[in-house]
Structure 1
């Protein structure tokens, strides 16, 4: 599966998860608001009913009220029942720890007695309106449906006895939730999808960048292994072809020296030449430490070490730190090897200068050039390594090239 396909799949799954999570939060929030609004509406309606019936009830002795009082009460609550604001009204008369239904628009309930919760009674005596879910029990067997709230209000009748007005208000929490979700969910989903589409190019770009970085790390590891193997082979070849024959020849001449003394000086020359060649190999394996002051000379030595010999232009090095000098030296060596090995250039130029607080190294050639945006060819990871090292040090690498137009690589680092 390609990087783009994997990214699209992950992006789609992340978007789906975000949509489901946000929709779940919206549903929970809307349901909570609908529930809260239902209780608030039930309390408002109960107080309107109380304003219509409690005043006349407070002027009556509820224990002695007759049929005329009951009929009057039915007429008072009839408008609320007709428009569907309430489904049931009860009047409770408190008798010690219990209460008795002295009026209801459902006659079968009148005379029902039950104990009242002391905490509920204290809240009602304090003037609060208490909204409760309608329970499913014997007392409520005549109630018209489950989508209701019962609201209790406290008052006192003409005889000074505490009483309770109970009003049943129909509510439709589920319906209100569905209607609100129908208005809210489509814009929320559309907004999330718009955000997901807007960030999709960034996700693809980041995924491609991560894939390139993984490829660069893999290529760097392979490059390191290959470089080590090449170095060992080159060392073995140079020792075998350059050093060993001279030392073997010196040994033979030493064997013949007693008969031919003139061979002794030639043997010394062969041994000395072998030592020089070994020292040269060691110098390449263990280069001298580079510091800021020695960087110009080290760059000139790199430029002259192989063909084609590069031209070197050195500006000011004032303010350059030793650590930056080491990194620039290594970058220059890698860029010169790339130019010599891959560009087929006839002219290579190395420029270096410190400008302000930035150190700038430029390596340019007139070779075949390449496409800087293309993925590195397997095994050609010198430039990505230089770029990664420069970025890790707070710098940057700029490449200007095109097929057939040569190449220019600029490495900028903090001077210190």
Structure 2
């Protein structure tokens, strides 16, 4: 029975589109990854720049504002000198960019602070801070605010603490300490980072746009090479098919015909033997049977060597011809096939080969008396099912004989991205299922005639 059903035609050149989509997806992931990395790096760089800016601001404040007021009178605690420095410092702090200012003697005494209660107190300076005295080095870091001198800065959560050394009017070194709000510096860092990130991303996008035509050209070249390889493979297959056809023709026209003639001659010889040659007639009959058996075997081999041309012969007809030998032995072989004229030739050929191998195994091993062979399409796939009611076998302990034909068939099915499965159980028969794709991704071989 033939069931007609529409088969969707495959779309051309999906490999190229997949390669381009793959390239674009990778580019998108690369842009996202680089965007995150650039943003983090920009913020980090901007934070470093902000801390560097704090160092630069502290140095400028120390040289131009603090140093001229560091006189011997300030060291002695003269109120007028302290007041003059305080007025200059508070004018600088009015914009909120500086939170606290301290001027230290090398031995740890606070010579001046905008927090007046700290003036004159002594604290233990850290070794790295004392080491700055008389040098041009500057240290800056987020302060932990965990020392005794920080009792008036506790209300502020995070501060950038900057230490440096400067010289007073008398040449004696003093230490200058300034506190900058960390949140403000980080806001500046984020602002700088967000200004840098778009530039970096724009450069990446422009680079990708320049790469896209190159990628398309490479994809087209690969596609062209793939098609050339396919054409070479098709010609090789066509040449192999011609050679197989020549061998089949030679078998049919010469060897099989000669053996058939020998069989007929042996039959004639048997008829003309005299009655006393019973033993000789039995020998002739055996020879005639052997020749006829060999002729049938050669005819089967000829069909195997040169199967029907499915670009001309319809698949249902070819499958029914495969089933005829099974029916001739009394088996019920039911064939149901969809209208396959629109299936690619290579798919029809592989379906035929799969059905032939399954029927051959049934004939040799299954001892079945009923076989159901079905070909049907669903979506963008076609499925062949060969179901028998034979003895079956345990899937956990498959038969030991070497099923080379099934292994070769499995490789051919996998080459076109299809699947081959065999399910069985003792006493319930065996089901062989072959599923093949109908899109171009699975059609690695498309038949073309060989032309000289």
Given the two structures, how large is their TM-score scaled by the length of structure 2?
A: 0.46
Higher relative contact order (CA 8 A, sep 6+): 2
